[in-house]
Amino acid sequence: MRSLKNILVSGGSGFIGCNFIRTLLEKTPGFTGRIVNLDALTYAGNPASLADVEAAYGKTAHPGVNAADSTGIRYFFEKGDICDRSLVESLFRTYDIDTVVHFAAESHVDRSILGPEAFIKTNVMGTFTLLDTARQCWADGSGAMRQDALFHHISTDEVYGSLGETGRFTETTPCDPRSPYSASKASSDHLAMAYYHTYGLPVTLSNCSNNYGPCQFPEKLIPLMILNMLEGKPLPVYGDGKNIRDWVYVEDHNRAVWTVMQKGECGGKYNIGGENEWENIRLLYTLIDVVSGKAGLDPAKVRETVHFVRDRPGHDRRYAIDCSKIKRELGWERQVTFEEGLGKTVDWYLSNAAWIDGIRSGEYLDWVKKNYGDRA
Ligand code: NAD
Ligand code: TYD
C-alpha cells in the first residue's frame, strides 16, 4: 500500500476531479495528506463545486497561515494551465509534490469535432508537460526516481474505439480512437506509458467508461437531459438512439482510481466500468421516469419532447468495459447500482439550483474572473 502525501490533482474543478477531491478529504480516513488542485478554470471548471471543501479544508479555514508552512491546510487551489511548465515546476517544489493524479482535459467529444486544437494542446501537450516536469523533479542527481512518487493518468474507454454487438474492451485491446477527443486521450496514454518504460517514471493508468453523478457540466447526455426536462426543452437524441454506453457512478470510478493509486502496479493499466450497458434511448426513457417521479412531471408529456436529430460524425456505436482485472487483482467492486446512482444524480440537480443557475447564466464565469482574473 502506497502512502501518498502531497497530491497534485489536475483538473480538480471539473466533474470527476471535484468529486475525487471531496471523497478523498471527506470520506477517506486513511488519507491524511494535502491536495493541490491545479485547474485552468476553462468553461468546464467551476470553483463553486468545491466551495464548501475550500471553506472546510482550504486557506479560508485557516486565515493567516502561509501556504508554504501550511499547518492544518489540506486543500490548496492554484489557477493555472497544465501546459505552463514554469508554473507546474514551481508547484512541485512549493508543495513537495509526491503524487500526481491527472484529470485535466478537454473532455467533450462534440466540442472536439467543432474545435480539435484545444484538445491537442491540453490533452497531449498538457499531459507531456506534467509527465516531463514529474520526471525532472522526481529524479535525483543520478537519475534515479524518488521512491514514494506516483503519477496516475486518468483516461477513457473511448481510446479503444467502437465495438460491434458483442465483446468488451480489455486492457490488451489495441487503441483505435475515432474522434479528436479519443485520439488526443490515446496519445496521452501512450506518452504516460512511454515515460514509465523509458525513464522509469512510476506511472499507473486507468481507462474508465462513461461517468455520471453530481456536478457534471450539462453538455453531457445525463445532465443535459435532466435540465432540459426540468425546463420543458426538447430532448435531442443523436441518430437512431441505439448507441450503447457503459455507465458508472462517479464515486465508484473515484474509489477505483484511489485503489489503483494505492495498490496498482507501476506500468499497470486498469479498466474501470459499471458493467452497465444502456442504449441511449432506453436510458433516456428510464431517466424520464426518474425525473418525472421526483419533479412531479407527467412522463407521457416529457416523452413527447424526445427529438431525434442528425447523428454525431464518427459516432462510436458501442462501448463496454471488461473490468475483471481491477476486481481480481486489486479487489475493487462497484457499489452503486444504476437505479440508486440515477436517483442520487437527479436529486443533486434538483437541490442545487444555484449551481445550475450559475452555469446557465454564465455567472460562474464572471465570478471566476473577479476572483481569479482572466481564464487561462
Ligand atoms: P471536465 O471537462 O468536467 O473537467 C475538466 C477540468 O479540467 C475542468 O475543471 C477544466 O477547467 C480543467 N482543464 C481543462 N484544460 C486545462 C488546462 N489546460 N490546464 C488545467 N486545467 C484544465 O472533465 P471530466 O468529465 O471531469 O473528466 C476528467 C478526466 O476523466 C478527463 O481526463 C477525461 O478524459 C476522463 N474521463 C472522463 C469520463 C466521463 O465520462 N466524463 C470518462 C472516462 C474518463
Ligand atoms: P456524451 O455524454 O457526450 O458522452 P460520450 O460521447 O463521451 O460517450 O454522450 C453519451 C451518448 O449520448 C453518446 O452516444 C452521444 C449521445 N448523445 C445524444 O444522443 N444526445 C445528446 O444531446 C448528447 C450530449 C449525447
Lookup: cell for 149:
512518487
> Please, what is the average pLDDT of the chain?
95
Inter-residue contact 37 to 77 (CB < 8 Å): yes
CA of 14 to the centre of ligand 1 (A): 6
Catalytic residues, by residue number, are 157-158, 181
The tens digit of pLDDT for each residue in 107-136 reads 999 999 999 999 999 999 999 999 999 999
**Nearest 5°: CA angle at 66, between 65 and 70?**
80
Pocket test for ligand 1, best of 20, 36, 37, 42 (most atoms within 8 A of CB): 42
Nearest CA to ligand 1 atom 4: 14
- The confidence score (pLDDT) of residue 142 equals 87
The tens digit of pLDDT for each residue in 303-320 reads 999 999 999 999 999 999
CA distance 202 to 134: 10
Nearest CA to ligand 1 atom 12: 11
Ligand with the closest atom to the CA of 215: 1
Q: Which atom of ligand 1 is nearest to the CA of 12?
A: 9
Q: How many CB atoms lie within 10 A of CB 286?
A: 14
Q: Which of 213, 211, 210 is closest to 346 using CA atoms?
A: 213
- The confidence score (pLDDT) of residue 64 equals 62
CA of 251 to the centre of ligand 2 (A): 20
CATH code for the structural domain at 6-375:
3.40.50.720
Ligand with the closest atom to the CA of 314: 2
Q: Which of 324, 291, 129 is closest to 222 using CA atoms?
A: 291
**pLDDT-flagged residues of the chain (< 50):** 376
Ligand with the closest atom to the CA of 91: 1
Would you say the CB of residue 182 lies under 6 angstroms from ligand 2?
no
Sign of the Cα pseudo-torsion (57, 346, 307, 364, in order): negative
- Please state whether the predicted TM-score (pTM) of the whole model is above 0.95: yes
- The confidence score (pLDDT) of residue 374 equals 63
- The confidence score (pLDDT) of residue 62 equals 67
Q: Which of 172, 199, 174, 177 is closest to 187 using CA atoms?
A: 177
- The confidence score (pLDDT) of residue 228 equals 96
| Rounded (10°) angle between helices 338-350 and 221-230 | 50
